Structure 1
């Protein structure tokens, strides 16, 4: 059998410079840069250069793809030195992104790397029963991976905006910005949203810390400068696509690409969040909608 792996490539100082037989045109290079937010790309460059610097110091060859033992040893050493789980997660995201950009298989999916990473998260991460936080740049990758276009197998049926993708972006951004539990997300209705000079005000009738509902908790969902990271933009876009004027905000999306009339079940929110994380190429174990 012949190997499907591409030949090893030398590592350059700029990991976003595609190593190909034909150099990128200025237009192509611009679109590559536009594929991720500027801050995300800056973080990828920094994390990748840190990884390659460590590799050189430890006498690993300066080529891609990186070896599984190289990555697992790197993670283990940093974890032992006290690096936070969030920092290590960013480094893995950078390694994954650069390899994908250079048409190499994702080395972070190797069984050895996965086993070591899971052990690090359980040992140095959140307590055993507590979910791991989904933070930038992983959060941005998850948002970017939400589908925007629904393509049908039926001949001559035109593409449509993907309602499930718009719903998932809303769910993730609102849950992240407002720090809501899945039961609180499922309970949001259109009547719970009011305009605010800085965005929207969300009323939470009941929560874990306010179980009687005697007094509503108020959360401001601010507008963000980047519309792709803005919970207000996400809510408005989802409502416009789904035609939602009253009732539950977050709903199941039917196979017909139409919204259901009922609210999402809290348990299904957890499934949707993990599916969105997996869609971005991130190991979803340990994450939840909480």
Structure 2
């Protein structure tokens, strides 16, 4: 049997189907496109970790025996790995076996019994990003530098600071995911009398692009907090007329052609929060999306209106963002506090 060409990700050859005849170049490209680059990297990383563990403990990784897999997840749980981490590792191991037309080792009774016990023993709610919303968001935006001063030459716009302001305000008002912010291009931004309309070609809930997803970016009453103004200011200062919207800026204050990586979006939000010193998190790029949902709810928006912007398919998912705020609504303990 012959494998298709690697996709550029270490260990990627294991993420493609094993076939009797070689795949054509176009077929291999479609196979690679079936999973996002982040997903492929995650699968490959998990598989390297599992296969390394097998080598150290005298087990075959492919195909994996039930006792190898149950021993592996038992060791992970004993070392303090989160249930979500172990679940992701199991998914990666399952995927590699499916691509080899091998039985799924995660279905073995020994593995499912141990896994159920791990979940019951170590299961806990995932750590949620703290919502970033006014007034904290105002402080974070204000802490972004707008100009750079030099001893030997005139000052100039601080391009990284202008980009960060645009990222924060666009991220909050649009409620985009970090991958969507990183992938946003000038062609995706359309003018509208009330602001801008963002077209999202692909998303977590629309991976095949079969349904158009539109997100609105409204003019805000305060210019200093207007996402449209912040976006226009950044694009004009950076001289960006096409291609990626959010780009890397060099230490020498020069804009590159390279778009931000989704993880860079995360780091920019964390650095911006640290500059404002607004308190403990956890903070991440997801704090902007969570902040949109929570703040909109506090301002009286319905779950359906929020889901229209966030593109959540389930209103229950929207409710999960605002459960802490909801806990105080129409609550008997809150009423008793007034006695």
Name the TM tier (shorter chain). Answer: 0.5 to 0.7
Distance, in Å, in 1 between the alignment partners of 2:280 and 2:168 is: 14
- Following superposition, the deviation at residue 187 of structure 1 comes to 0.4
- Whose radius of gyration is greater, 1 or 2? 2
Residue of structure 1 equivalent to 2:266 = 270
SS of the counterpart of 1:252?
strand
Matching of residue 243 in structure 1 with residue 239 in structure 2: yes
Residue of structure 2 equivalent to 1:186 = 182
Residue of structure 2 equivalent to 1:200 = 196
Deviating above 6 A after TM superposition, structure 1's stretches of 4 or more consecutive aligned residues are none
SS of the counterpart of 1:261?
strand
Distance, in Å, in 2 between the alignment partners of 1:265 and 1:243 is: 20
Distance, in Å, in 2 between the alignment partners of 1:183 and 1:213 is: 15
Distance, in Å, in 1 between the alignment partners of 2:280 and 2:233 is: 26
Distance, in Å, in 1 between the alignment partners of 2:157 and 2:204 is: 36
Residue of structure 2 equivalent to 1:40 = none
Distance, in Å, in 1 between the alignment partners of 2:219 and 2:281 is: 31
- Structure 2 residue corresponding to 1:143, chosen from 141, 144, 165: 141
Residue of structure 2 equivalent to 1:132 = 130
Distance, in Å, in 1 between the alignment partners of 2:238 and 2:211 is: 31
What is the aligned-residue RMSD (CA, Å)?
A: 1.4
Distance, in Å, in 1 between the alignment partners of 2:188 and 2:194 is: 16
- 1:82-97 to 2 correspondence within 5 Å? none
Distance, in Å, in 1 between the alignment partners of 2:218 and 2:260 is: 24
Deviation by residue 1:205-225 (Cα, 9 ceiling, x = unmatched)? 111111111122101100011
Pairs aligned (count): 163
- 1:28-177 to 2 correspondence within 5 Å? 127-152=125-150, 155-177=151-173
Distance, in Å, in 2 between the alignment partners of 1:139 and 1:208 is: 26
- Structure 1 residue corresponding to 2:255, chosen from 242, 255, 259: 259
Matching of residue 288 in structure 1 with residue 284 in structure 2: yes
Gaps of 5+ in 1: 1-126
Distance, in Å, in 1 between the alignment partners of 2:266 and 2:281 is: 12
1:284 to 1:242, Cα distance in 2 relative to 1, 3 A: farther
Residue of structure 2 equivalent to 1:216 = 212
Distance, in Å, in 1 between the alignment partners of 2:161 and 2:212 is: 30
- Following superposition, the deviation at residue 245 of structure 1 comes to 0.3
* Maintained 8 Å contact 2:179/2:262: yes
Distance, in Å, in 1 between the alignment partners of 2:228 and 2:134 is: 19
Distance, in Å, in 1 between the alignment partners of 2:231 and 2:134 is: 20
Gaps of 5+ in 2: 1-124, 287-339
Distance, in Å, in 1 between the alignment partners of 2:240 and 2:280 is: 30
Higher helix share: 2
- Structure 1 residue corresponding to 2:224, chosen from 206, 224, 228: 228
Distance, in Å, in 2 between the alignment partners of 1:238 and 1:216 is: 27
Deviation by residue 1:59-97 (Cα, 9 ceiling, x = unmatched)? xxxxxxxxxxxxxxxxxxxxxxxxxxxxxxxxxxxxxxx
* Maintained 8 Å contact 1:274/1:284: no
